[in-house]
Structures are given as C-alpha cells and as structure tokens.
Amino acid sequence: MNGAPDTAMVLAAGLGIRMRPITATKPKPLIEVAGKSLLDWGLDSLAEVGVAKAVVNVHYLPEQIVAHVSRRQKPRIVISDESEALLDSAGGIVKALPELGPKPFYVVNADTFWVDEAESNLGRLAAAWDASKMDMLLMLADLRSATGHSGGTDFLVAPDGRLSRAGGDPSGLIYAGAAIVHPGIFAGAAIAKQSLNLYFDRAIAAGRLFGLRMNGSWITVGTPDAIAPAEAAVARAQVVGA
C-alpha cells in the first residue's frame, strides 16, 4: 500500500471475566506478561510501525487505563469511552470512526499479543494491503505458533489469500487479533452492540476478506494460569530472535 496506516483502534473495553480474581481490581489489558502490560505489547507494536494515533476504547475500570496510557509518548492516545454500555468489537469501532478518519487503519485486540521475528508483522500487513480488492486484511496464526489458545481454527486461506470460515478444519488458521480495516465497511452503521464477525462474513461473501500468516509467536492469556506459559513463550521467542 502507499504508506502504512498511521491510525489504529485498540479494543480494550472487555470485562476480563475469565481472568478473575486478577480482574476484580484491574482491567485485563493492564495485566502484565513478561514485565509489560497486554495493552503496552500492542501499543509498542503500533509505535514501532509509525502509528501516530491510537484510539483505545474503555469500559471496565476505565480510569486505570486512562491513567496508564497518559504516561505514554507514542502513539498519541485518544480514549473512546464506553462506560455506559459495552459495544463489542465492531460497535466500538463505529463509535470511534470520527477519530479514526477516512483512511484504512489498524485494529488490535488488547488481550492478545505476539513476538515478531526479524520483521514486524504489522509492517508485513501494511505491505500486503491492497484496498482495490480488500475490505479487511487479518493477521493469522497457526496452532503451532500459538500459546494459550483453547479453541479451534477460524479461517481457511485460499492460494490468493482470500479467507473462508474454517468450520473446525484443523488445517485452518487462527485470527491473531490484528488487522487492517477500511472504514468504508462501516458506512451507515449505527452505534450499537455488534461484533466484527458480522463484517468478516460480509467481506467473505463479497470476496474481500484476506489474511496473512504471521511470523513469530502469538500469545493469548485467557485465564490466570495462562500467564506462566505466556511468559515462557515470550522468553523462548526472545532467545530465538536474539
């Protein structure tokens, strides 16, 4: 693409119910793995590829996230307040569209992260983005590179990169919680609770959902006992990348 996205949406409004009792007093994005909060893993990856502004949505214990990101220099953080009602992934993006602007932007989940190999995976996404044929380009991980993932696969990848639902096929790949999205897909959408899955399916039907297999290690932390394996995976990945 002509220039990587310089804006991102960071989805950080979840309740983190499965992470209790830790999340009784702390929002899940602020849980630390290997000395860094889940939120900062994502924001650091965005800063590395030159993202200037990140919109972070908040709902549960929002004041903690607001205070935490106020200490960051890059990217510049804009808070999208969902304190009154959770809007889910797509609803949160629709609410933030005025701040995200008219150009394609990154979307990053604040409860998963990854350790790059030699090249930034977000940079690879930007290099592969083609607005003429894509509505969304998803970063994907295979089961072997994933730590903490308890579900199955999400998508099958055609030779040209187009995606279809995996339907439980073990040869499929996992959505790794990062993407480039064209804001036009939300045209006319109301600010209401809705999932990105709706937009994934629409893009599949239009032949405009694409994916890129990531390099490195993808890590998700769903429960408190997943923190230790996640930290071990970070240590292994950093040794490999050293």
186-215 pLDDT, tens digit per residue, is 999 999 999 999 999 999 999 999 999 999
pLDDT, tens only, 92-133: 999 999 999 999 999 999 988 999 988 999 999 999 999 999
> What share of the chain in percent tops pLDDT 70?
97
pTM here?
Answer: 0.94
7-241: CATH topology: Spore Coat Polysaccharide Biosynthesis Protein SpsA; Chain A (3.90.550)
Whole-number Å distance between alpha carbons of 196 and 92: 10
Please report the pLDDT score of residue 218 as a whole number: 93
**Domain layout of the chain by residue ranges:** 7-241
Q: What is the mean pLDDT of residues 42-56?
A: 96
